[in-house]
Each structure stands twice: as structure tokens, then as C-alpha cells.
Amino acid sequence: MKARHALSATLALALYVTEAHSGEPAQQPMAVAEFVKLGILSHLRTAAEVCTKHIPSAKADWERMLDDTSVKVDRFTRDLLGKDPFAGLDKELIPSAGTVEVLKAVETMNGDLNAQIEKGNPDVDCPKMLKNFQGMSDEFLKAGVTQALAGVQAMLVGYKSGYIK
């Protein structure tokens, strides 16, 4: 499992929502920054949950990685939302229907990751995953946040233009 998969998760969520139409009960709209953070960190949290179940002694390392990554995602998102081409995006909300689809997509993706880890050799794979996640450079993480924001921006254009309902 490479770190880039976690970053690609947010864009995949945005694209999933653009193709889905929800008949589900409405959820609360979600702020763009919250959406980006959910997409990036939920994948990492799932890996952490599965891996610490197999290697409880690694829990502190996983929690530290999650905390550090969360702070960086917040910082990069805040910085990018204040500049073109994302200026003003911080005032947008993911519509309720999109929020339902996002939550379904996150659940599906996390279930797939859980199954992938369990199917492999967690005692060997989990330490490698943790090392990969810990080794994400700021530049790489910021590029992932940028990609996620671009996906969200495209999704919101779809909602506004009526392409997505």
C-alpha cells in the first residue's frame, strides 16, 4: 500500500459523487476542508485500525502519524483555499446529496482496504505501510491536497450546472 493511494482517495470520492445520484435521506452539507480531510485521513485511519489490531504495540506510532498528517492537511488546505484557483472554495459546501454519496464511498473504500490488509500478511505489510505514510514529504502531501481540491471544485461545478443532482 503506497501513500499515494490515500491521497488519491479524495479525488476518487469526488469523482464517485459526480457519477452518483442519491435517493438516500439527506445528510448535513459538508465544508470543503472537512471533505478533503475526510477523504485523505479516513483511508489512513482504516489502515491504522486494522494494523493496530494485529500489532497493538504500534498504536502510538500510527496515532502520531495520523496527528501529524491531520495538522499538515489542515495547514495545506487552509493555505490553498486562500489562493487562486481555489479562492472562495472555502465558502462552498458539499450538498447534502453529495455528503450521502461521500459517506457511502468512504465506507466502501475503507472496507476494500480492510479486506486487502487482512488478506495479505499484516505482520509484515503494516510496518511497511506505516513507514510509507510516515515518509510522505510535505510536497507530496500538498500535491494530494491540491488534487483533492481540484476534484471538489469540479464536483461543485457539476452540482451548480445541474449535471449532478
Strand pairing of 93-94 and 30-31?
A: antiparallel
Each residue of 49-103: pLDDT tens digit?
A: 999 999 999 999 999 999 999 999 999 999 999 899 998 898 888 877 666 676 7
Which of 5-14, 29-38, 45-54, 113-122 shows the lowest per-residue confidence on average (mean pLDDT)? Answer: 5-14
| Statement: the pTM of the whole predicted model exceeds 0.85 | no
pLDDT of residue 29: 77
**DSSP string spanning 14-76?**
HHHHHH----SPP---EEHHHHHHHHHHHHHHHHHHHHHHH-GGGHHHHHHHHHHHHHHHHHH
Query: 92-124 burial, b if ≥16 CB within 10 A, otherwise e?
Result: bebbebbbbbbbbbbeebbeebeeebeeeebee
Q: Is the dihedral of CA 85, 86, 92, 97 positive or negative?
A: positive
pLDDT of residue 158: 82
Q: pLDDT class for 113, splitting at 50, 70, 90?
A: confident
Which of 13-17, 27-31, 59-63, 106-110 shows the lowest per-residue confidence on average (mean pLDDT)? Answer: 13-17
Residues 28 and 114: their CA atoms lie apart, in Å, by 27
The arithmetic mean of pLDDT across residues 42-53, rounded, is 92
Check pLDDT > 90 for residue 129: yes
Which residue in 5, 4, 13 sits closest to 36, CA to CA? Answer: 13
Q: Where are the domains of the chain?
A: 3-161
pLDDT of residue 27: 61
